Amino acid sequence: MASSTTITVEVDDVSYTDDVEPRLLLVQYLRERLGKTGTLIGCDTTNCGACTVHLDGVSVKSCTMFAVQADGHRVTTIEGLAEDGKLAPLQQAFHECHALQCGYCTPGMIMQSASLLAENPHPSEQEIRDGLEGNLCRCTGYQNIVAAVRSVADGTVSSNAGEAETAGVA
């Protein structure tokens, strides 16, 4: 077993200091050491994006970073997105647009969408699709995910939790 390294990482507004093996992936650190199981693992090859989190506000795939690389940085996961118990607009939008079914890709998809909108607040449909290229969903066929991101960009997502007019229904 390799020797450990001490790291200090701020995750969802809480600072953690831990001894970790250098080979420990950031996603394993989040899930296994911090219990942040909202961030999920879907592949081993950086293709599926289920593990997407923000590192200092920018999306990264946490299966492709070592925990030691996050030392001194700020990590935001899906569990830290809602503020004061109120869903973030993208979370609300995914709900309202039926942009999730099994939910497994959802944490990564929402984190990537947030990063996409931070970079480009008014993307076209094609820009949304291109911006989500690194996140796979097997359930939705993407149309409602695109609609959810667009509803946040357009400001049409409801500000209240609960039932809202549904998008994308014939």
Partner 1 sequence: MTTAEIGRARLRKEDAHLITGRSRYTDNITLPGMLHLAMVRSPFAHAKITAVDVSAAKASPGVVAVLTGADVADEQGNVPNVWPVTADQKAPAFPSIAVDEVAFAGEVVACIVARSAAAARDAVELVDVSYDELPVVMDLEEAFTDTVLAHSSLDSNLSATWVFDSGEAGTGKPIREALDNAEVLIERTFYQQRLIPAFMEPRSIVVDPTSEQITMWTSTQVPHIVRLMLALTLGIPESKVRVIAPDVGGGFGGKLTVTPEEFITLMAARRVGKPCKYTETRSESLQAGHHGRAQVQRLKLSATKEGIVTGLDVNLLADMGAYLGLIGSGIPILGAFMYNAIYKFPAYRLECNNIFTNKAWTGAYRGAGRPEATFAIERMMDELAVELGMDPLELREKNWIKHDEFPFTTVAGLEYDSGNYEAATAKALELFDYDALRAEQARRRETNDTVQLGIGISTFTEMCGLAPSRVLGALSYGAGGWEHAQVRVLPSGNVEVVTGVSPHGQGHETAWSQLVADKLGVPFENVEVLHGDTQVSQRGMDTYGSRSLVVGGMAVLAAADKVIEKAKVVAAHLMEASEEDLEFTDGKFSVKGTDQSTSLGEIALATFAAHNLPDGFEPNLDSDATFDPQNFSYPHGTHLAAIEVDTETGRVSIRKYVCVDDVGVVVNPLIVEGQVHGGLAQGIAQALYEEAVYDEAGTLVTGSFVDYLVPSAPDLPHYTTGRTQTPSTTNQLGVKGVGEAGTIASTPAIVNGVLDAVRHLGVKDIKMPCSPSRVWAALEEAKTTGGVQ
**CB of 100 vs partner 1, minimal distance in Å:** 6
Residues in contact with 68: Cβ distance below 8 Å, sequence separation at least 6, in sequence order: 5, 7, 20, 22, 24
Q: For partner 1, which is the closer residue by CB, 9 or 148?
A: 148
What's CA 2's distance to the chain center, in Å?
30
In the complex with partner 1, the residue whose CB is nearer, 70 or 144, is 144
Using CB under 8 A as the criterion, which residues of the chain lie in contact with partner 1 when the complex forms? 1, 21, 23, 31, 35-45, 47-48, 50, 77-79, 81-82, 87, 91, 94-96, 98, 100-107, 110, 125-126, 128-130, 132-146, 162-164, 166, 168-170
- Pairwise CA distance, residues 30 & 1, whole Å: 20
Closer of 121 and 162 to partner 1 (Cβ): 162
d(CA 145, CA 142): 5
